[in-house]
C-alpha cells in the first residue's frame, strides 16, 4: 500500500515537471525592432495606433511608451495624429501585437 501511494506521488511529480517544461518551451519570444511609417489611425482611447505599410500595422501604446519629437521633447498621446511620420522602437510578437517602447514623431518638412 505504501509503495502504491509513493508511486502515484512520483507519477504526479513527473507529470507536473513535464507540464512545466512544455509550457516553457512554448514561450513566446519577443524581438526588438525599429521601423518607420505614417500613422493611418489612432484609437479613440489612444491605446493603439495603426501604421501604413511594413511588417507591423497595429501598435500598442501603453503608459510605459515614451513619445518624443526628433529633438527629444516629451510629447503626450494627443500628439499622435493620422498622416504623421513616426519611427517606432519596441518589441515585436510574431503571434500578437507590437508593443511600442518609444515613438519618435517626425517633424514635417517646412514646419517651424
Q: pLDDT per residue over 6-23, tens digit each?
A: 465 555 555 545 554 454
pTM: 0.69
Residues 6+ apart with CB under 8 A from 85: 36, 37, 38, 105, 106, 108
Task: Answer yes or no: CATH 2.40.50.840 is held by domain 31-105.
Answer: no
pLDDT of 105 higher than 90: yes
The predicted pLDDT at position 17 comes to: 53
Please give the Cα distance from 67 to 100 (Å, whole number).
Answer: 9
Q: pLDDT per residue over 21-61, tens digit each?
A: 454 445 667 788 888 899 999 999 999 999 886 666 789 99
Q: What residue spans define the domains of the chain?
A: 31-105
Amino acid at each position: 500500500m505504501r509503495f502504491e501511494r509513493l508511486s502515484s506521488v512520483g507519477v504526479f511529480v513527473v507529470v507536473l515537471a513535464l507540464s512545466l517544461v512544455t509550457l516553457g518551451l512554448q514561450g513566446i519570444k519577443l524581438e526588438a525592432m525599429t521601423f518607420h511609417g505614417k500613422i493611418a489611425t489612432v484609437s479613440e482611447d489612444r491605446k493603439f495606433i495603426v501604421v501604413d505599410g511594413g511588417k507591423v500595422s497595429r501598435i500598442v501604446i501603453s503608459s510605459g511608451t515614451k513619445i518624443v519629437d526628433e529633438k527629444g521633447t516629451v510629447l503626450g498621446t494627443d500628439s499622435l495624429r493620422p498622416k504623421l511620420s513616426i519611427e517606432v522602437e519596441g518589441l515585436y510578437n510574431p503571434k500578437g501585437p507590437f508593443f511600442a517602447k518609444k515613438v519618435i514623431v517626425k517633424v514635417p518638412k517646412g514646419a517651424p
